[in-house]
Amino acid sequence: MAVNKENVLRNIFTYFLFIAVVLAAFIPILWIIITSLKRTIDIFSYPPVIIPVRPAFENYLKIFKLAEMSRTFLNSIIVATSTTVSVILLSSLAAYGFSRFRFKEKGVLMLILLGTQMIPAVTNIIPLYITMLRLHLLDSLTALLLIYAALNIPFSVWILKSYLDSIPISIDEAAMIDGANRLYIIFRIIFPLCLPGIAAASLFVFIQCWNEFYLALVLTSTLKSRTIPLGLFTFQASYDIQWNLLSAASVVAMLPIILLFIILQESFVSGLTKGAFKG
Amino acid sequence: MIKRKGHLLFLLPALMAVLLLTLYPSLYAVFLSFTNKSLINPDYSLVGLKNYLELFSSGEFWSSLKVTIIYVVITIFFQLTAGFLLASVTEKSRFGRKLVRTVVLISWVIPEVIVALTFKWMFIGDKYGLVNAFLLQTGLVRESIKWLSRGNLTLLVAIGMTVWRGTAFSMIMQAAGLQSVPKELYEAVEIDGANNLQRTLFVTLPLISSTLLINLIIISIATFNVMSLVYAFSGGGPFRATEIISIYMYKSAFKFFRFGFASSISIVMFLLNILFTLTYIKITKREFIT
Amino acid sequence: MVSRMFVGIFLICLSALLAFGGGQQEKQQTETGEKVVLTVWADSFFTPKWQGRQGPVLDAVWRDFEAKENVKLELQLVPYPDFQAKLLTALSAGNPPDVAIADQYWLASMVNTGGVEDIGAAWPQRDREDFFNWSVEGVMVEGKVYGIWYSTDARVLYFRKDILAEKGFMEPPKTWQELYGAAQKLNSTDQYGLGMVLSGEGGMCTLLIDYWSLDGGLVDSKGKPAFNSGANKEALTKIFEFDKMLYDEKLIPSDSVTYMSENDMNPRIFAGGYAMFFGGGWQIGNIQDNMNPQAAAQWDIHLRPQPAGGKPSSLAGGFDLNVFVSDPVKKDKAVKFIRHLSDPVNGAKFAAASRGLPVRKSVYQTDSFFSTDPYMIKYGQILPYAKTRPNSVIYPIISDSVMKAMGEYISGEKSIEQALSDAEKRVLTQQ
């Protein structure tokens, strides 16, 4: 890189702007964390309390011990994990099919898959409610799993297919010459090569399931199948909003995903590349 | 590519799952849009195109359409740009990459309800709002800004909130796209004497154009379908200045319980989504499904 | 190795799903002697799960009932914003809870959908007489009794005694004229003279008090909208004009047009941004929880100031207890449950803890809290003047249309004439 005064100045400016933007982006998050540590009486004081004099750590205890958050948490983890696993399984098979075979319906089918993403989620709520009712699956994590899987498969298929497209078919051919059957090829050879793509798709699906609110609202009612977004509403009632507890619960709700992201970090980004986006 | 047979086996499970649980309910929604089904009335009947006629002749629909278009276009513009900028800067140096990605990810992952309420609260229109308190204390303004009582300002904040929340996705997508650009190309262009801007415009952008297109399509659809974020923030107000079309549909369905009418709105939304996507593809003349 | 890990995770998930993911139970017929299970839907504020004063109080009340009647109460918390939709969806699918604690103005829509049980037979007339008249009428649709009113709130004027006194006002304003004058004098750079809600259901409640003060009616005897004609229209016009004046002269913050419920005013209230506001009974509880005690003690309440020629008026909102289960054994227990919750002692305990208002006249005389707390005494005096929103299926549409019309007028988009006539059209087409 040519190093001259112009470049250096421009770089400094860029970094400065960049830091400012990141800091600004962090402020709402900071505010939520701060609020989560406030006592009720500090929430609305003016001038605004930036650092609580006595941090109310007990808020975090309250939300778990007394407000059923542990079960909600467990439910969200179960739903998100099982959905992610099922989606990856089904999508990788489908992605393989799309990538490795040539057939005339291919374009149409992919369009249909992507088309389902354009349907506003709220449209399907009533028919889905009635269907789940008839299947006796209302108020169950299974119902959520089924629907979330259906909603997330198209996008995962798309990511994985792009990723697979960049893995040369010669690998498949070499393995087949060696006498391996297709399934073996997929799981033992191709799959491991796809880990970054799988990591990427997994993270997306997990986040979608973790945050989804409306379908969960309509299809579940009791604690046994309540997920985190609904659990938060315990603190936002008809006559009062308990901001501090709500914030604490939100902080707790964010942690697993952040953890997951840190684990998947490196493999994640490279998963979306690999020549998948070449023109 | 190899043989043609056997492909169905791989595709079938995924396709079945999607079609059963997405397509079938949507078809039912199409049917509903031709009825006057209401949640508070057990009887309902087919009414032909009445819902659509009512929709297209109502001022609310057109004003919400206008608001939606402004909201979506500006939001996706900033999301794409910010995503690109963040991706480029973090790509060049390890410095802060993990930090930035984590911060940006958090904004994406916080439950919608609390994002909306936090922003609503931060932008309270007098000195009690965090933003105004800051602006007043630092002397940047003399009078607090009425963020939430002037229509265009509220829309502005709503857009800002959506950009804040959604940029993560674009950043991640484009970071991936950028990584696939071979470094040799950059070096070659440098040798030819190109500066940063030229390099970006003529080398980087064309190479990641597929990424950009996909990014654009996905966030268009996603932004178009945003509902509870804006609803919890402003309820569509003031005076419907932020009533995007999804809120209009939500109100019809869950405040007035007119499912038939609401279904017609969602069908129109679906068609608009398709229109957007086809427009993009036409404009860029790309075939992104090979 | 990777695949094995994958399979492993999948199996764990599968077993977790089987263990935890079960679907709804079949509705069971109860045998005599077996423990009856009642499902109860409520928003957290009304349940033992609330992280506040009433949580433990309700816990004791509910356990007491469970022990006495050999019943298991299965509580299901429902988020308030979508509660009505959830109830109606469940009712229309034939899958409602056994009992629900629902917002009072949803009753008409629920009855229309079908599935709400008539409990008139199990609620003795003698007991009914202890309730305020409007609270008994408020749970009736077409002559049948569909629930018991649990707790209420009254919309009143809140004012800061100290600030008013500073500016020479020893008494709160009692008429619009006085209100206007006071708001002007109390308005300052730091503080608005008045706070009120101008949109949403909260806005409609605020408007209705003045409307009823002027004897306005929303629906006629045939259930058709009646607000755009004759004396009703004049009343609405007066109210619109007065509110617009307050808005234009900045006596109320311009944010008010975005507020949909009285709670939206809370951040400013707690920060000391209002000298007076039109609020709900429960807000005294919010104030006491969120402000320091000296400041909180300066708030006082009074009947809303009346327009010229108007009479004292207030609006009672609140929640009632509804039963949906028809199986005789369960229904009997369910009715006993709601009567237990709303009996003089338990009802008062809940109201005191939650700062709601009891609906029983006797409580204001006999209960130690409600007969001595200064705010409660005042509420007890104000409640007889209260009315409730009509139990009509088109009420939500009327509410939304009228509020929309008000917004259009205040923003200058339409004249009152135009706005109201459009509102009427909307109601008629959407029925």
Provide the token pair at B189. 């262009």
Q: Tell me the two tokens of residue B261.
A: 């009418």
- The chain-wide mean pLDDT, for chain B, equals 82
pLDDT, position A82: 93
Of C84, C254, C268, the CB nearest to B128: C268
A215 inside 8 A of chain C by CB: no
CB spacing of B270 vs A119 below 8 angstroms: yes
Chain segment A105-133, per-residue pLDDT in tens? 777 888 788 788 877 776 777 778 777 87
pLDDT tens by residue, B123-180: 877 777 788 888 888 888 777 788 887 888 999 999 999 999 888 888 888 887 777 7
Q: Which residue of B54, B149, B239 is in closest CB contact with C255?
A: B149
pLDDT tens digits for range C333-352: 999 999 999 999 999 999 99
pLDDT at site B140: 82
Per residue in C121-140, pLDDT (tens digit) is 999 999 999 999 999 999 99
Cβ pair B119:A21 closer than 8 A: no
Calpha distance B202→A125 (Å, rounded): 46
Chains touching B (3+ CB pairs < 8 Å): A, C
Cβ atoms of residues C151 and C351 within 8 Å: yes
A50-64, C99-113, C154-168: lowest mean pLDDT where?
Answer: A50-64
Are B25 and A236 in contact (CB < 8 Å)?
no
Average pLDDT over every residue of A193-207: 83
Q: Do the domains spanning C35-146+318-387 and C156-314+390-430 agree at the CATH topology level? A: yes
* Per-residue pLDDT at C29: 43
Per mean pLDDT, which of A12-26, A78-92, B221-235 is the most reliable? A78-92
Average pLDDT, chain A: 79
Write down the pTM of the prediction: 0.84
In C238-257, the residues whose Cβ lies within 8 Å of chain B are 253-257
Is the domain C156-314+390-430 a CATH 3.40.190.10 member? Answer: yes
Grade residue A278 by pLDDT with cuts at 50, 70 and 90. very low
Domains of chain C by residue range: 35-146+318-387, 156-314+390-430
Across the range C28-42, mean pLDDT stands at: 72
Q: How confident is the model at residue C4 (pLDDT cuts 50, 70, 90)?
A: low
Q: pLDDT-based confidence at C23, cuts 50/70/90?
A: low
Among residues A139, A272, A146, the alpha carbon closest in space to that of A203 is found at A272
8 A C-beta contact, residue A114 and residue A158: yes
User: What ipTM was reported for this prediction?
Assistant: 0.79
Contact B54 C112 (CB under 8 A): no
Q: State the pLDDT at residue C60.
A: 96
Which distant-in-sequence residues (6+ apart) come within 8 Å of C36 by Cβ? C30, C69, C70, C71, C72, C329, C330, C333
CB C41 to CB A241 under 8 A?
Answer: no
Cβ–Cβ < 8 Å for C323, C338: yes
Which of C190, C255, C408 to mutate to test binding with chain B, by most B CBs within 10 Å of its CB? C255
Cβ of residue A141 closer than 8 Å to a chain C Cβ: yes
Using CA atoms, how far apart are residues C242 and C304, in angstroms rounded to an integer? Answer: 14
* Residue C362: pLDDT band with limits 50, 70, 90: very high
Q: Whose CA is closest to C268, among C376, C158, C173?
A: C158
Q: How far is A3 from chain B (nearest CA, A)?
A: 11
Q: Is the confidence at residue C402, as pLDDT, over 80?
A: yes
DSSP string, C225-245: B-TTSHHHHHHHHHHHHHHHH
Q: Which domains does chain B have, with CATH numbers?
A: 1-25 (no CATH), 33-284 (1.10.3720.10)
Mutate to test the interface with A, among C7, C12, C14, C50 (most CBs of A within 10 A): C50
Coil vs helix vs strand at C246: helix
- What pLDDT is recorded for position B64? 93
Q: How confident is the model at residue B196 (pLDDT cuts 50, 70, 90)?
A: low
Q: Whose CA is closest to A145, among C3, C12, C14, C95? A: C14
What percentage of residues in chain C have a pLDDT greater than 90?
57
* pLDDT the model gives residue C59: 94
The SS3 of residue C357 is: strand
Angle at B13 between CA B8 and CA B19, to 5 degrees: 100
Both tokens assigned to B151: 């229509």
Query: Tell me: the pLDDT tens digits for B233-284?
Result: 888 878 788 999 988 988 888 788 888 898 899 889 988 888 888 887 777 7
Answer whether B179 sits within 8 Å of A258, measured CB to CB.
no
The minimum CA-CA distance between C73 and chain A, rounded to whole Å, is: 12
| Residue B190 with chain A: CB contacts under 8 Å | 1-2
Q: What is the pLDDT of residues C224-266, one digit of tens each?
A: 888 898 899 999 999 999 999 999 998 998 878 878 889 888 8
B32, B110, B259: residue with CB nearest A250: B110
Categorize the per-residue pLDDT at A4 as very low, low, confident or very high, splitting at 50, 70 and 90. Answer: low
Whether A240 sits inside 8 A of C55 (CB atoms) is no
Calculated CA dihedral for residues B258, B264, B269, B272, nearest 10 degrees: -160
Instruction: Kindly report the nearest CA distance between residue A119 and chain B, in angstroms.
Output: 5
Residue for token pair 């799959």: A191
Whether residue C30 is predicted with pLDDT greater than 50 in this model: the reply is: no
User: Nearest residue of B to residue C411 by CA position?
Assistant: B239
Q: Do B128 and C273 touch (CB under 8 A)?
A: yes
C7, pLDDT greater than 80? no
A207 close contact with B: CB closer than 8 A: yes
Q: Residue A94: closest CA among chain B residues belongs to which residue? A: B11
Residues 142-181 of A with CB under 8 A from C: 142-143, 145
Which residues, 6+ apart, have CB-to-CB distance to C10 below 8 Å? A82, A85, A86, A89
At C8, is the pLDDT very low, low, confident or very high (cuts 50, 70, 90)? Answer: low
Instruction: Tell me how close the Cα of A109 comes to any Cα of chain B, in angstroms.
Output: 9
Does residue C93 surpass a pLDDT of 60? yes
> B126 and C273: CB-CB below 8 Å?
yes
CA distance A105 to chain C (A): 30
pLDDT, position B103: 78
Chain C residues touching B41 at Cβ < 8 A: 112-113
Which of C12, C15, C20 is best to mutate for the A interface (most A CBs within 10 A)? C20
Given this structure, which CATH class describes domain C35-146+318-387?
Answer: alpha beta
Tell me if C282 and A142 make a contact (CB, 8 A cut-off): no
CB pairs under 8 A between A and C: 148
How many angstroms separate the CA atoms of C296 and C287, rounded? 6
Residue C328 neighbours by CB under 8 Å, 6+ apart: none
Q: Do B128 and C88 touch (CB under 8 A)?
A: no
Among C296, C267, C276, smallest CA distance to C374 is for C296
The neighbouring-strand residues paired with C417 are none
Q: Tell me, what DSSP letter sits at residue A180?
A: -
Closest residue in C to B41 (Cα–Cα): C113
- In this prediction, residues C298-313 reach a mean pLDDT of 93
How confident is the model over C382-408, as a mean pLDDT? 89
- Tell me which residue in A89, A142, A217 faces C17 most closely, judged by beta carbons: A142
**Average pLDDT of span C308-313:** 91
Pairwise pLDDT comparison (A29 vs A24), residue with the higher score = A29
By CB neighbour count within 10 A (0-12 exposed, 13-18 middle, 19+ buried), where does A16 fall? exposed
Q: How far apart are CA C97 and CA C75, in angstroms?
A: 10
Which chain B residue lies closest to C406 (C-alpha atoms)?
B239
In this complex, the residue of C13, C153, C271 whose CB is nearest that of residue A85 is C13
Residue A142 burial (CB count, 10 A):
19
Query: Residue B273's pLDDT is what?
Result: 86
The verdict on a CB contact (< 8 Å) between B238 and C109 is: no
> What value does the mean pLDDT take over residues B194-208?
71
Share of chain B above pLDDT 90, in %: 15
* Residue A271 pLDDT exceeds 60: no
Q: Which of B189, B215, B289 to mutate to test the interface with A (most CBs of A within 10 A)?
A: B289
